[in-house]
Amino acid sequence: MIDKGVMAYCINTDRYRYDRIASKTIPLLVKNLGLPVTVVTNEDTLPSLPAIPSVDHIIIENQTGNFINGKQWNNLDRHRAYELSPYDKTLLVDIDFFCYSDNLLTLFDTEHDFLVHDQVHDVTGKDSYNFRCNSAIPMVWATLIFFKKSQLAKSIFDMVAYIKSNYEYYCNLYRIDFTNFRNDYAFAMALQQINGFGNYPVMPTKLATLPANAKVTSVDDNGLTWSIEGMQGNLAHTDVHVIDKGVAYV
């Protein structure tokens, strides 16, 4: 078992070329975190992924059947990260997370077995993310998850799997408006169940995010630029989650 490392899922769909996003984000993870990286993918996507010596791949037969806006959404296998991870301490990241600093390394020193963001920061200043009225419990952001190989972390991932299998019931229980499966809500519900509806430790910062209507116009090794509603912006040496999947073609 390797002490620590990074995992990411990258599985293409008919709509999105996640491998093209991976060609931008995986090298940033390697460069700025200096840790081994494992990419979970399928046989169709693997040949398109960038060949990087310090990056390993795990091939799965991914589950299908979830949709967003009528298009296939391959997000049903995140709960398997615990069993698939070759690391004692794992940073699980979305493939569209651009790591422009080494700030995430501090997470590996935490005393906690499981951490996730419960707050997000819209870097455009538009305050696009306020979903509190869409459910009876606060949502968490499964974009970044830190976990250790421990009984607590395993219990959380197992609970996510159980919730996924009974998602309609749990959506009704927690009055969640988004009835297509979302890992954000599945992990939020799992944390509520595992922690007896009490508080649980979370990431100490807000998750910096570019919303979907912010279009990325350029990307390099140090940052990116974007536009929204006629306004231009840029980020340098700042980690950010990019929702605009058009970044694959920038």
How far is C-alpha 15 from the geometric centre of its chain's CA atoms?
Answer: 19
Cα(113)–Cα(99) distance, rounded to whole angstroms?
22
Per-residue pLDDT tens over the stretch 151-184:
999 999 999 999 999 999 999 999 998 779 999 9
Cα(27)–Cα(29) distance, rounded to whole angstroms?
5
Residue 80 in domain: yes
CA proximity to 117, closest of 224, 207, 8: 207
Do 196 and 155 contact (CB within 8 A), yes or no?
Answer: no
Q: How many domains does the chain fold into?
A: 1
Residue 247 in domain: no
- Give the CA distances from residue 6 to residues 26, 105, 134, in Å, rounded to whole numbers and listed in that order: 10, 10, 31
Residue 217 in domain: no
Residue 237 in domain: no
Residue 215 in domain: no
In the beta sheet, which residues pair with residue 115?
146
Residue 85 in domain: yes
| Residue written as token pair 């595992």 | 194
Per-residue pLDDT tens over the stretch 176-196:
987 799 999 999 999 999 988
Residue 233 in domain: no
Per-residue pLDDT tens over the stretch 127-136:
767 665 678 8
Do 108 and 88 contact (CB within 8 A), yes or no?
Answer: no
Judged by average pLDDT, the poorest of 4-8, 135-139, 186-190 is: 135-139
Per-residue pLDDT tens over the stretch 211-228:
999 999 999 999 999 999
Judged by average pLDDT, the poorest of 38-42, 121-125, 130-134, 136-140 is: 130-134
Do 94 and 144 contact (CB within 8 A), yes or no?
Answer: yes
Q: What CATH number should be reported for the domain holding residue 194?
A: 3.90.550
Residue 244 in domain: no
pLDDT of 114 above 80: yes
* Residue numbers of the domain that contains 93: 2-210
Pairing of strands 120-122, 207-210: parallel
Do 161 and 247 contact (CB within 8 A), yes or no?
Answer: no
